Amino acid sequence: MLQAKAAPGSLLLNPADHTLILIDFQSQMSFATKSIDAVNLRNNAALISRAAKGFGVSTILTTVAEKSFSGPMFSEITSAFPGQKLLDRTSMNTWEDEAVIAEVNAIGKPRIVLAGLWTSVCIVGPALSAIDQGFEVYVIADACGDVSTEAHDRAMERMIQAGARPMTSLQYMLELQRDWARGETYDLTTGIAKEFGGAYGLGIIYAKSMFGASEGH
């Protein structure tokens, strides 16, 4: 007979077991993105960036043709990682860039979490390549976008069929926190949620303002 125990499942992410790779969140790429509006995309990019920084997640920032074509990375991301080098590429597939792979190997984590533009090209490429090399891959679906909803959806399906695990931006942050009794990151998590968590964040503001509520009690 199976016996349950109060412990997290091995498939859940924690801050120390993965590398977050943020790919091509750039002006030129966002102009043609239609599967998600720019406001939500930038908001979700900010949410996961601040969560990753606050929880100490190993994070790689990479761009494509930044100076010659695609433009700067979203300030919502770079402001969360002040001074961090952006690894600029010529390859559409991040996993074919030697500098990025050198950083992945230096970090040495077995799990890769991906987000960026466009889903069908710049996320599918590294996702399928990393899976092929034995990495576990997670994709933050609502922090990705494509030229159409069709393109985004088919790309997500293709990655899931290959073994990638989809998640959302808010889910990513809450999975890192996972227990409101973790006081050292409680204010961080609720603070990010209040600023970037949409209706959930408004609920936190309301509960704390009206009742002095706290999820940890």
Active site residues: 122
Rounded distance, CA 78 to CA 63, Å? 12
- β-bridge pairing 136-145 and 58-64: unpaired
Q: Measure Cα distances from 191 to 82, 90, 91, 115, 195 in Å.
A: 19, 37, 37, 22, 6
Helix axes of 38-55 and 183-196: crossing angle, nearest 10 degrees: 170
